[in-house]
Amino acid sequence: MRPLTPVRIPGDGMVVLMGASGSGKSTFAARHFGPTDVLSSDALRGLVAGDESDQSATEDAFELLRLALRMRLARGRLTVVDATNVQRWARRLLLDAARREGRPAIAVVLDLPLALCLERNELRLVHRLPAAAIRRQHRWLVESLPMLAAEGFARVELLRSPDEVERAAVALI
């Protein structure tokens, strides 16, 4: 049997999940973290607008996300950000918050094949996106990978196949 993939995370840090829609960020978050440790842009859109896919609520949802993130990090609470985070400006806002609170930032990247993300998207009953949006997110993710360490992430944990995701074992350090 192949070994587990260790994903090392400081217990007072910020975990930034990254991946195209359908890469499995929310599934990963639900499997490895407690429900109150996860700040989800979709859930916050739902909180604000009653509909997780209401794009008009995006700005409010991210404002709430950053506010909650800052409050949690100030208390030293491990916090997981469940959003695509494939754009540099989005990561920049999160990294600024972590730096201000003096907490380490870890990227957990679900770098799965585009074809798999598209296939899962087609099978979804809710939150299905146009294929072009997923292609774009995937491209941004791939372009982002070489820059993550320089952006300020203390660690970058790459998960590059469904098998690696399946075998991921979160270890708090």
Please state the closest distance from residue 117 (CB atom) to ligand UTP, in A.
Answer: 8
The span from the CA of 142 to the CA of 158, in Å, is 12
One residue of 15, 18, 23, 26 binding Mg ion per CB under 5 A: 26
Q: Which stretch binds Mg ion (CB under 5 A): 23-31, 130-138, 147-155, 156-164?
A: 23-31
Question: Per rule CB under 6 A, is residue 27 in the interface with ligand UTP?
Answer: yes
User: Which of ligand UTP, Mg ion, none binds 21 (CB below 5-8 Å, type-dependent)?
Assistant: ligand UTP
Q: Helices 114-123 and 131-144 meet at what angle, rounded to 10?
A: 150
Question: Per rule CB under 6 A, is residue 138 in the interface with ligand UTP?
Answer: no
Question: Per rule CB under 5 A, is residue 27 in the interface with Mg ion?
Answer: no
One residue of 9, 14, 24, 97 binding ligand UTP per CB under 6 A: 24
Q: Which of residues 38-57 bind ligand UTP (CB under 6 A)?
A: 42
The DSSP call for residue 35 is: G
Question: Per rule CB under 6 A, is residue 87 in the interface with ligand UTP?
Answer: no
Which position has the token pair 């294929």?
131
Among candidate residues 135, 97, 144, the one with its CA nearest the CA of residue 20: 135
Q: Kind of pairing, strands 105-110 and 155-159?
A: parallel
Q: Which of residues 101-120 bind ligand UTP (CB under 6 A)?
A: 120
Neighbours of 145 (CB within 10 A): 14
CB 16 within 8 A of CB 33: no
User: Which of Mg ion, ligand UTP, none binds 127 (CB below 5-8 Å, type-dependent)?
Assistant: ligand UTP
One residue of 92, 100, 124, 160 binding ligand UTP per CB under 6 A: 124
One residue of 25, 103, 138, 155 binding ligand UTP per CB under 6 A: 25
Taking CA 69 as the corner, what is the angle to CA 49 and CA 38, rounded to the nearest 5 degrees? 70
Structure tokens at 35: 């429900």
Question: Per rule CB under 6 A, is residue 160 in the interface with ligand UTP?
Answer: no
Neighbours of 143 (CB within 10 A): 12
Residues in contact with Mg ion by the rule CB under 5 A: 25-26
